Amino acid sequence: MQVNKKHRWTVMLSVMLVLSLLLSACGGGNGGKAISNNGGNAAAGEGNTNNATNSAKKEPVTIKYYNWDNEAQEVATKAMLDQFMAENEDIKVEHVVIVPGDSLEMLKKLDFLISSGEAVDVVQMPSFNAVLERATRNALEPLNQFYEQEKVVPEDEYYVNPKVDGNYYGMQYTKSVNYVMLNKNALEEANLEIPKYGWTWDDYREYAKKLTKGEGVDKQYGTYFHTWELYMNAPAQTVMKDPFLYSDGTTILADPTYKYFFQLRKDMEDVDKSAKPYADVLAAKLNYRTEFFNGDAAMILTGNFTIPDPGNQEQYPHEFVTAFAPVPLPPKGEEPKEYEDGKYFTSGNQLAMGKTSKHKEASYKLMRFMTTTDSEHRTEFSGWKKANNDALLDRLIAGNEQYYDVESLRYAVGSEDIQFLDAAEVMTTGSAELTKIIGDGFSKFMLSNEPIDEVQQWMVDQATKIIAEKELIK
């Protein structure tokens, strides 16, 4: 059959139209948007969701996380950072241990890194003070804009929030809780109950008397006080916002609790014979853990970093059960100035962001993750108010519950009776010098028998000079 030219041209046009429609349909699949299979930009594919996502996908940013982990802590930190990176594939974190196991040396090297222009992203700091000192040097980035973007009220999230001139500079990573560890077997033998919140330092003295027994090398003292300033004026260290300054910036060494507690310590040694003499503690360079677990002392004031110790039979072999009590409060009439209804001081490690960080959004995201995640790898109480510290407690004592009075432990660290103070309004950069003054004053009273009024006046005079020379942080 013959086809004329006009008809043949009509057929060809029809075929071309069909092919054009088919090609258009193929190219317009997935919502009529062109698809490129070569991983590049399709010529007509600007609107293609898949291709745009692939082509616009950013390379992961890398940030550094600085701290002073020892070998054991490094394992836990790595696990938490791995978890963060798994949940945030666009961020890689390099863990930098500046000085293993030494926070003071870590801070010195950190300051050198900052001064040399190192891009410091996130750094763990050992204290509230350490954050504020570097914030006043303009070494840290304020967190206010990030909190505002996330609609976060820091005081609702963390117990302690370092601030300078209204700017926030730290997120509380860990929380310290002080308590008294007691030999439960010794308590039962003396017919004493495990103390609850509200017992006083006068009550502590009476407990120590009743728990003291024996003579010579076999003597069990009612309590043991170590050489740290914590044991020189426990109320100043446990129920006041700052152990050095009142809120008006004047020295706290004038506080009535110094006279009260110095005298209490002396009377427990000289009159009651219920505490090992300070001179012996210094001379023998005793270990406070050993004194308790060897049975040489029935009570000791300490903190939550000792929670694993009763279960550590390899290092501290013992047979008795350890009970726990909240820190005693000052008795009526002996309360410190600026006392706040029996609330306790708390501190802990803080996370801060370097001013030089080039990836501040990613750094903030890491800080919030590290401070708010109830990770199974945590080894210390969280400074986040909404944390499940009960789960951590269970992990810390797992397998060794027989050495703990678990109910009293939970009460001492987590009871609703235990409330914490806010951060201090003013601090000084002279804390190291002031700590030495406290130690020297205590030695003058305990070892040289100088009158307490003279000793306290000397401490106040020395502290006032230091405070005047140093910078106040408000």
Give the model's pLDDT for residue 56. Answer: 52
Q: Are residues 195 and 152 in the same domain?
A: no
Report the C-alpha gap between 231 and 415 in whole angstroms: 24
Q: Are residues 110 and 242 in the same domain?
A: no
Q: Are residues 202 and 77 in the same domain?
A: no
Give the model's pLDDT for residue 423. Answer: 84
For residue 227, how many other CB atoms are within 10 A of its CB? Answer: 16
In a domain, 10, yes or no: no
Give the CATH number, domain containing residue 372: 3.40.190.10
Q: Are residues 215 and 358 in the same domain?
A: no
| Alpha helical stretches, state H, 311-430 | 360-372, 389-397, 406-414
In a domain, 149, yes or no: yes
Q: Residue 378: which domain range? A: 61-175+348-387
Q: Are residues 83 and 122 in the same domain?
A: yes
In a domain, 168, yes or no: yes
Give the model's pLDDT for residue 3. Answer: 41
Regions in the chain scoring below 50 on pLDDT: 1-55
Q: Are residues 133 and 77 in the same domain?
A: yes
Q: Are residues 252 and 367 in the same domain?
A: no
Total of domains in the chain? 2
Sequence letter at residue 93: V
Q: Are residues 455 and 332 in the same domain?
A: yes
Instruction: Kindly state the greatest CA–CA separation across the chain.
Output: 133
Give the model's pLDDT for residue 129. Answer: 85
Q: Are residues 359 and 415 in the same domain?
A: no
Q: How many CA atoms lie within 13 A of 297 on its CB side?
A: 22
Give the model's pLDDT for residue 27. Answer: 42
In a domain, 26, yes or no: no
Give the model's pLDDT for residue 298. Answer: 98
Q: Helix 128-135 to helix 103-115 angle, to the nearest 10 degrees?
A: 20
Q: Which of 342, 469, 426 is nearest to 162 (CA)?
A: 426
